[in-house]
Structure 1
């Protein structure tokens, strides 16, 4: 097994999670460089995580550190151009979400990937726990039966101070509110479990926060397999939770967690008359490993070792991005119904993938 040279670009809050999880990969990764435009923050980050080389520009990092993989931990508006720069240099890219702010930008990324030998993948760490792998295999099969109806909620809370960073809450920098920046992880897992979506009807609104983007959204989604799901994304919910429920012919699959899960966060309930069948199917699967960044990193290294496409790669990331882009609504001003005093968000309807 090869040890990969890894660099982190952007040393804000999420970068520490990447550095800590790289240290948990059992020697599969060597963190050789970091890059940031803020020299003081960069130096502090490098000292804390024992990173030998620091750079103020991505171009210099690529030329001198010669990493195998670059982790993009920068604000969302920088992801696409930095990913293109890495791909054109033949360097693998692992980007924080969202992978791009528009499907047109994502087209550019796929074109660059097709031209060279490097690949792009996005951080969708919830796909990589053992329980999600087991659920994905059993949903739609003889163990659990066909999926029928589902619910996917990302109900989080962010105070006004969360938006003190000038790029947060803007369309140009984030491409949306909780739909693109928060609920995207849960919906990506739902897609991973249920497969491609066919149709979405959605509303999005700005209820309480002084942002340009939405602070909540709700959607009704129909999947290619016929399943129907409701999806709610909120940053206004004091009791925070991240929930998925999928009702199949023979079983209900439930996941309740916040930012990551273990097998204990999953509940499987058999339909009357199918309890033993469902329990045997679920308990026969390995369930030791929880979700997390290190699990995705290891899956990436295994794919590179074997010459396979990267997991959570461009094709599947596009499916998740497309749904989020179709759901979100631009709200440049409050929209109010006549003779009412409460905001009434407009309705967005989109059909197709």
Structure 2
């Protein structure tokens, strides 16, 4: 039997709700493989509250560079506002640490390519949190589609219709291009269309619209897109924070079956439904059912996959080209929406206004008049 891998020393940067509510349980679930050794937050009250919640004697810092110099962690988990992700990720990579960062990993493709350069220079890797890929239902669906068990994909729908009120956007960094990178396309729907891309593979063309219908923000509060995939499938993508009946949904109609996922913030096996076409016999359809082993989509599942990659010295999932492809989709959606023209895969690069910023050269919407 090979020797057990050493426990990886982990530091968290940003100790808000997402870290305490999602990353901390994931670390506890993998306590045989990781040791939480440090936390960083500029808010000392929040930092102290997190350290108490985490238990044990973890070191606390108000500056990330001090933590990196003193602790030299193996892995850094980043849960800070989006505008801080690029620099914090680059700093961690330069210190030799792997990174698992909340979405979006960066605010633009240009920023992402800076992280790719830092990876190459350091030999460490940076992955973005796309936990919906990791549930057993998603793994099973992807395998069925990839093997052609459901027939050729033809039509797909990807829906993130959530509701956020004015209080949500009172947080200073939300709703601004420079600090959030966009509206629900970047901050909410990105989880679902990342999963759609994971299931269907590369896209070739996108046409889109975006609008700010309600909220007094710089960025959009709704976007829609029509997408053509390399395999010929056509899809609709809707991202909204204006929807009282909140739902996250992906539906893919293949030649022999429809597979549909309906949930809100996370899925289990029971959330995946397979409907066979009339010509499919019952025995074949029964074989599509998601296996009995039920692994919910979660930070816990993703952290396990990242630790497996660390132990094997290979690039982790949702890093590199995979993570960039999802960010490119967001950039292309915005470009298509703001220019009114179709956008093709691979066309956004240096020199394109949508390469350094998701809004390109599109002017901000004028402030809404107060009643």
TM over 0.5: yes
Match of 1:314 among 310, 320, 334: 320
Conserved? CA contact 2:150–2:256, under 8 Å:
yes
How many angstroms apart in 2 are the aligned matches of 1:347 and 1:204? 10
Conserved? CA contact 1:204–1:346, under 8 Å:
no
How many angstroms apart in 2 are the aligned matches of 1:323 and 1:330? 10
Conserved? CA contact 1:205–1:215, under 8 Å:
yes
Q: How many residues align?
A: 340
Match of 1:46 among 40, 43, 51: 51
Match of 1:222 among 206, 225, 228: 228
Other structure's SS at 2:158 match:
strand
Match of 1:298 among 296, 304, 308: 304
1:287 positional shift: 4.2
Q: Does 1:289 align with 2:282?
A: no
Alignment deviations for residues 325-346 of structure 1 (CA, whole Å, 9 cap, x no partner): 1212699xxxxxxxxxxxxx87
Distance 1:346 1:239, change over 3 A: farther
Conserved? CA contact 1:204–1:329, under 8 Å:
no
Instruction: Trace 1:99-114 onto structure 2 (pairs within 5 A).
Output: 99-114=105-120
TM-score with structure 2 length normalisation? 0.88
Partner of 2:350: none
Q: Does 1:211 align with 2:204?
A: no
Other structure's SS at 1:15 match:
helix
1:283 positional shift: 3.2
Partner of 2:38: 33
Partner of 1:70: 76
Higher mean Cα deviation, 300-309 or 166-175? 300-309
1:279 positional shift: 2.3
Q: Does 1:8 align with 2:12?
A: yes
Partner of 2:128: 122
Distance 1:346 1:162, change over 3 A: farther
How many angstroms apart in 1 are the aligned matches of 2:281 and 2:105? 41
TM-score with structure 1 length normalisation? 0.93
Partner of 1:335: none
Unaligned regions of 5+ residues in structure 1, if any? Answer: 332-344
1:14 positional shift: 1.0
Instruction: Trace 1:168-179 onto structure 2 (pairs within 5 A).
Output: 168-179=174-185
How many angstroms apart in 1 are the aligned matches of 2:70 and 2:281? 59
Instruction: Trace 1:218-257 onto structure 2 (pairs within 5 A).
Output: 218-257=224-263
How many angstroms apart in 2 are the aligned matches of 1:54 and 1:278? 56
Unaligned regions of 5+ residues in structure 2, if any? Answer: 347-371
How many angstroms apart in 2 are the aligned matches of 1:129 and 1:284? 11
